[in-house]
């Protein structure tokens, strides 16, 4: 008997300078879909100062902190909860190195290699661990219930019983699939 492999959740942010460029935004969205990452939640918002301060608290003492906060609150960002087996590593690989100059020379085909402008304007953010993903998701999706998602929704995403809405850029559970109880009746 095989053990069940649960899906992993991660937070993805498409930064303001990218959202202002529909062509680039669509290329990044296509990359997410083409790499079989599923979108559990999707929202476009201008990140508030309060959210930015919580989100970037680890950088508070760094020289670029104020510049980072100002930039992240400067216009709309797209914020997603992504899922897949090993979603954190998969999304981080698609993004490429955090430092844009490094991405442009060593990982040209990554999102940051192609669309990053500077280390602050590096196009995207992705959680670096399960703990970070949970903390970050709670900042931007305060109503997201991890326990409920893993108890109810995760199995549908894991089995591919979902529907993709390209306008809302989100996957939803497809209830037209028969479940085990319906099949055995």
Q: Is residue 60 part of a domain?
A: yes
CA quadruple 132, 7, 142, 28: dihedral positive or negative?
A: positive
Q: What is the pLDDT of residue 38?
A: 98
Q: What is the CATH number of the domain that holds 18?
A: 3.30.70.141
Q: How far apart are CA 162 and CA 171, in angstroms?
A: 6
CA angle centred on 137, ends 14 and 166, rounded to 5°: 50
DSSP 59: G
Q: Is residue 85 part of a domain?
A: yes
169 is in an annotated binding site: no
Q: Which of 43, 13, 2 is nearest to 142 (CA)?
A: 43
Query: At 176, is the pLDDT very low, low, confident or very high (cuts 50, 70, 90)?
Result: confident
Whether residue 81 is predicted with pLDDT greater than 60 in this model: the reply is yes
Whether residue 182 is predicted with pLDDT greater than 80 in this model: the reply is no
Q: What is the pLDDT of residue 30?
A: 98
92 is in an annotated binding site: yes
Q: Which of 154, 145, 140, 146 is nearest to 14 (CA)?
A: 140
Q: What is the pLDDT of residue 183?
A: 38
71 is in an annotated binding site: no
Q: Is residue 1 part of a domain?
A: no
112 is in an annotated binding site: yes
Q: Is residue 120 part of a domain?
A: yes
Q: Is residue 98 part of a domain?
A: yes
Q: Is residue 2 part of a domain?
A: no
Q: Is residue 33 part of a domain?
A: yes
* pLDDT mean over 12-37: 98
Q: What total number of domains does the chain contain? A: 1
Q: Is residue 69 part of a domain?
A: yes
As annotated, the active-site residues are 125
pLDDT, tens only, 123-165:
999 999 999 999 999 999 999 999 999 999 999 999 999 999 9
Range of the domain at 19: 8-182
pLDDT, tens only, 30-73:
999 999 999 999 999 999 999 999 999 999 999 989 999 999 99
């Amino acid at each position: 008997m095989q053990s069940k492999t649960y899906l992993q959740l991660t937070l993805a942010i498409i930064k303001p300078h990218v959202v202002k460029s529909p062509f680039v935004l669509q290329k990044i969205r296509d990359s997410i879909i083409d790499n079989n990452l599923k979108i559990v939640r999707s929202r476009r918002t201008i990140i508030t100062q309060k959210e930015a301060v919580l989100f970037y608290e680890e950088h508070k003492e760094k020289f670029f902190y104020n510049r980072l906060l100002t930039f992240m609150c400067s216009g709309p960002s797209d914020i997603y909860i992504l899922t897949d087996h090993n979603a954190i590593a998969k999304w981080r690989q698609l993004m490429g190195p955090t430092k844009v100059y490094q991405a442009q020379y060593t990982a040209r085909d990554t999102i940051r290699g192609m669309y990053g402008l500077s280390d602050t304007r590096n196009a995207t953010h992705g959680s670096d661990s399960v703990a970070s993903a949970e903390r970050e998701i709670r900042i931007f999706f305060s109503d997201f219930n991890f326990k409920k998602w893993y108890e109810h929704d995760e199995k549908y995403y894991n089995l591919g019983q979902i529907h993709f809405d390209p306008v809302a850029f989100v996957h939803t559970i497809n209830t037209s699939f028969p479940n085990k109880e319906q099949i055995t009746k």
